Chains A and B, each alone.
Chain A
Amino acid sequence: MTVKTLERQDIVDFLYTEAKILDEWRLLDWAALFTDDGTYVVPPIGEPEAIPTKSLYYIHDNRSRLQERAERLLKKEAHVEYPHSTTTRNYHNILVSDIESDVITVECNFTTHRTKREVVDTFIGKIKYEIVRENDRLAIQRKKVVLNLDSLRPHGKISLIL
């Protein structure tokens, strides 16, 4: 089959699709967006380049841990997300680099609103993706979410997938 030339819009659509999958709580589909060696990390606030042996990340998932995260959140016993919260994810200021290369780097700002029990918490920050072409699809090799907050107050937790 012919390999279509990738365009920026393909990447943007891929990101919007990821956001939609998460907002629709199709978390197993979300995990399936990752490569077999995919990672999902949230570094400590104020230390986006923290060394994971020196500083504690909020989330430091390898492929199997992010699968467990997705599966756990779909269980009724994941109490913090039962009943499921309602989320709205917006990605903005999307910058795509190296679209020709094997690993495409994408940066965007994000705003994720979560509401549950009449309380809205808003997470804001920047996401850095490394995206690869794999079996005629796009897949996430790395997703790093940098929170642009001073602390996790009043949110208190990152129970949803950012």
Chain B
Amino acid sequence: MERIIQDNVEKSEFLVNRRVFSDKEILARERAEIFNKCWLFIGHETEIPEPGDYKRKKVGGRNLLFVHSHDGEIRALFNTCPHRGALVCREDSGNSRVFRCFYHAWSFKNDGELVGMPGKDGFPEGFNDEGTKNMKAVNRLENYRGFMFVNFDENAVSLEEYLGNAKEYIDLVVDQSEYGMEALGGVQQYSVRANWKLLAENSVDLYHGMPTHKTYFDIKQAQDPNLKRVKLEGKGINLGNGHSVIEYVAPWGRPVAQWTPIWDEEFKNDMEKMKERLAERFGEERANRIANYNRNIVIFPNLVINDIMAVTARTFYPSSPGYMEVQGYSLAPKGESDKHRLARNNNFLEFLGPGGFATPDDNEALELCQEAYTNNTEVQWNDISKGMVRGEGNALATDELQMRSFWRHYNSIIQASLDKEVAHQ
């Protein structure tokens, strides 16, 4: 069998075998070696601020209950009854001290402990002494600056170690607010009829910006008479562990804090003040980076944090090789004024999300890739070479180092899994 990656530095050529997008066996290995072992984003801590708050979450193919228990701890419970397995909590979100499975009416505290069942006399005393009849929690749930992740591998390294160099970029996103970030309501639940890795690639791909999103930049140019040429310039950086980032300047307005002519003079003053405050907190250079630079971050395998014309986090999971479920979040500074919040949300919706002027065109591009992978038997390789010729330390944001970083890490996991299997045969 062909290797899944050809990484030829001498020839400045990087190829990915297209069967990784369509092969069911590859997906089975991804589930076993990636989604069962990597840190996966479950949600933001501000989604469940009060004791009793809960939200159902699908993470890594599991049905989880993301809950703020009354002992103050945030937990991820497997939303399945220890008795016969039925989904215990059926509401998508809410606040409750107790979850009750309707099937046989077993009840659980919001930390998962079994507190009631009908017909107790049919069970021995000490039936739950070992806690095996409690709702099971994911053992590894860790928080980095409000972003919460689970890991189904109990022996995984810590979240902080896993994030490594990506922490610096998450910090740049979070530091734009003095009071922390919060997740807005209305998490966008959508799908793409394409392989999940195509969305990881697309989210850090600035090369496609102009051709795919010309209609968006047409609108930007109409709004800003001084915008003669759309400039998308910056660098691409490998962050290790499969994570990567592009950091760049772009012509759109940033709510914190790059003014654009669609906003009024009052906004201009507000944003100058925001930037002054950032400079007081972090110095000029970092303030400039936070306010005027854009960041698209991929946290391997399936979290994207884009700090662009608004801040979005998206996570995605494959239910089949050619179909992924996506959850799209909007994050904003706590305490933001209504006027700025509305401007932020309108900025978000102009580009992002299923009703935006750009995201649907991205989805279309991904779906056309997937559709044409029916030709994989004869046409086998995707090209991800752009910028190799410059040397990986000099990659531009419009190059493809970010994707190569993802694929090199992916290869170290999946090719190893394929090789191991061959060795056993």
| B192 adjacent to A80 (CB under 8 Å) | no
Contacts of B338 in A (CB 8 A): 53
| A157 adjacent to B92 (CB under 8 Å) | no
- One of B186, B190, B214, B361 near A153 (C-beta < 8 A): B190
Q: How many B residues have CB within 8 A of the partner chain?
A: 39
Q: How far is the CB of B344 from chain A (nearest CB, A)?
A: 9
| A56 adjacent to B357 (CB under 8 Å) | no
User: Does residue B354 face the partner (Cβ distance < 8 Å to A)?
Assistant: yes
Distance in angstroms between the alpha carbons of A119 and B341 in the assembled complex: 37
| A156 adjacent to B184 (CB under 8 Å) | no
User: Does residue B412 face the partner (Cβ distance < 8 Å to A)?
Assistant: no
- One of B326, B353, B365 near A79 (C-beta < 8 A): B365
| B357 adjacent to A72 (CB under 8 Å) | yes
- One of A45, A53, A56, A159 near B360 (C-beta < 8 A): A159
Could you give, for residues 351-381 of chain B, a 1 whenever the CB lies within 8 Å of some chain A CB and a 0 otherwise? 0011101011101110000010000000000
Distance in angstroms between the alpha carbons of A65 and B346 in the assembled complex: 9
Contacts of A54 in B (CB 8 A): 184-185
Contacts of A45 in B (CB 8 A): 186, 189
Q: Which residue in chain A gives the minimum CB-CB distance to B349?
A: A60
User: Does residue A42 face the partner (Cβ distance < 8 Å to B)?
Assistant: yes
Q: How many A residues have CB within 8 A of the partner chain?
A: 37
| A117 adjacent to B371 (CB under 8 Å) | yes
Q: How far is the CB of A57 from chain B (nearest CB, A)?
A: 7
Distance in angstroms between the alpha carbons of A60 and B347 in the assembled complex: 10
Q: Known contacts A42-B355, A53-B338, A55-B184; decide if A152 and B190 are in contact (CB<8 Å).
A: yes
User: Does residue B212 face the partner (Cβ distance < 8 Å to A)?
Assistant: yes
Contact residues of B with A, CB < 8 Å? 92, 184-193, 212, 214-215, 218-219, 323, 325-326, 330, 338, 341-342, 345-346, 348-350, 353-355, 357, 359-361, 363-365, 371
Given A56-B188, A59-B349: 13 more A-B contacts, CB < 8 Å:
A44-B187, A47-B186, A56-B186, A57-B349, A58-B353, A65-B350, A69-B357, A78-B215, A80-B361, A117-B371, A153-B190, A157-B359, A159-B354
Contact residues of A with B, CB < 8 Å? 42-47, 50, 52-60, 65, 68-69, 72, 75, 77-80, 117, 119, 150-159
